[in-house]
Amino acid sequence: MNARNLIPLLAASTIMTTNCSSNNVASREFGKTPSGETVELYTLKNAKGVEAAISTYGGVVVSLKVPDRAGALGDIVLGFDDFKGYLIPPPYFGAIVGRYGNRIAHAQFTLDGVDYKLAKNDGDNTLHGGKRGFDKVLWKAKPGPGQSLELTYLSKDGEEGYPGNLSVTVVYTLTDDNELKIDYTATTDKDTVLNLTNHSYFNLAGQGEGDILGHELTLNADRYTPVDKGLIPTGELRSVEGTPFDFRQPHAIGERIGSNDEQMVLGGGYDHNFVLNRSGDGLSLAAKVTAAKSGRVLEVLTTEPAIQFYTGNFLDGTIHGKGGKVYGLRSAFCLETQHYPDSPNHPAFPSTELKPGQTYHTTTVFRFSQS
């Protein structure tokens, strides 16, 4: 073997980079599942150098590099450099969550007169799809036009207790306007329920760069759904007026997080579903977060009726992520666009049912800019 051939071979065995349909979508092997299946990591890159790396395992957004005020790219999502980190497993870092994002009380619901029992993985409740939700399965990937990646997964009838073969497509698109757009589509062959979301943990100062208490949040929500001690909505839609849940004007996330408001105590911080003020069915602005120091700004637009605002209250410093960074309490926030938790048991909440012949389609956009 001559030296000329050796270099490309070495490169192939260490990074295994293959170019897919365009220069802006590359893939490499990220690791192997315990059963030996290959997990790939796709990287989307836009004209401004913004980059999103997405794993076929869980559809996880493994890294997201966006510019700060000075134009310096920084990775602003929690995650792992090594695929093995995702097998431990982490609390849904960056993952596609399904079949039902958030909680269903007592892990059961009734649909068309039939009682369905789901996998219990959160005390007596089911959380984020059960024991092996969409965050822990291997998705089929196909680079799409421009800077996009299509992921597909067939969730079999009875998986984690849910009825119907559910065919799911999630498309990640990185636009040249520095937006990560996520389109979720699904069809079923039997009446079912679903609530798909993405569970990225953001820190606009950069992943592992301290807590997010100084970030300023605006939430376009007059009401939220208070919870019981199992974090299941009581059914009430409560006004945020005069409470620490009022983010209609910008507030630092940490400003009122230590309040003794009963709901704040139950959540151990913010871990609540906000009912979005919407007009029409299209994309509408749900949330805006600004980080004064870095100047990074995140806006969340969605077609969904609600958003879960979670402040990483269960992070406790035991997880060491990318670059060995320690993920401590409130070192990230999540803004999970969704339907309300436990909707299948609350007929008054917007319906999460899907029937054969219908197509589920929702869109969420994470838009990045600078202040």
Subset of residues 288 to 317 that bind ligand BGC, contact rule: CB under 6 A = 308, 310, 314
**Which tokens go with 44?**
């989307």
Q: How far apart are CA 32 and CA 349, in angstroms?
A: 41
CA dihedral sign of residues 341, 345, 350, 356: positive
Q: Minimal CA–CA distance to 67: which of 93, 44, 46, 81?
A: 46
**Interface characters, 134-173, with ligand BGC (x: CB under 6 A):** ----------------------------------------
Q: Give the nearer residue to ligand BGC in terms of CB position, either 158 or 314.
A: 314
Of the candidates 112, 100, 102, the residue with the CA atom closest to the CA atom of residue 161 = 100
Residue 183: helix, strand or coil by DSSP?
A: strand
Annotation marks residue 299 as catalytic: no
Residue 271 binds ligand BGC, judged by CB under 6 A = yes
Contacts of 113 (CB under 8 A, 6+ apart): none
CB of 332: closest distance to ligand BGC in angstroms? 10
Provide the minimum distance between the beta carbon of 15 and ligand BGC in the complex, in angstroms, as a whole number.
30
Closest to 363 in 3D by CA, of 306, 304, 309? 304
Q: Can 40 be counted among the known catalytic residues?
A: no
Q: Pick from 59, 67, 91, 164: which binds ligand BGC (CB under 6 A)?
A: 91
327 touches ligand BGC (CB under 6 A): no
> How big, in percent rounded to 5, are the helix, strand and coil portions of the chain?
10, 40, 50
Buried b (16+ CB within 10 A) or exposed e, 154-188: ebeeebbbbbbbbebbbbbbbbeebbbbbbbbbbb
Tell me whether residue 28 or residue 106 sits nearer to ligand BGC (CB atom).
106
State the nearest-atom distance from the C-beta of 297 to ligand BGC, in Å. Answer: 23
Nearest to 192 by CA among 98, 302, 281: 98
42 versus 202: smaller Cβ distance to ligand BGC: 202
Interaction between residue 80 and ligand BGC (CB under 6 A): no
Residue placing its CB nearer to ligand BGC in the complex, 141 or 231: 231
C-beta of 92: minimal distance to ligand BGC in Å? 5
Instruction: Confirm or reject binding of residue 224 to ligand BGC (CB under 6 A).
Output: no
- Please report, as a single letter, which amino acid is at residue 3: A
Residue 31 as a binder of ligand BGC (CB under 6 A): the answer is no
The residue (of 141 and 286) whose beta carbon lies closer to ligand BGC is 286
Which residues lie near ligand BGC (CB under 6 A)?
A: 91-92, 102, 231, 271, 308, 310, 314, 336
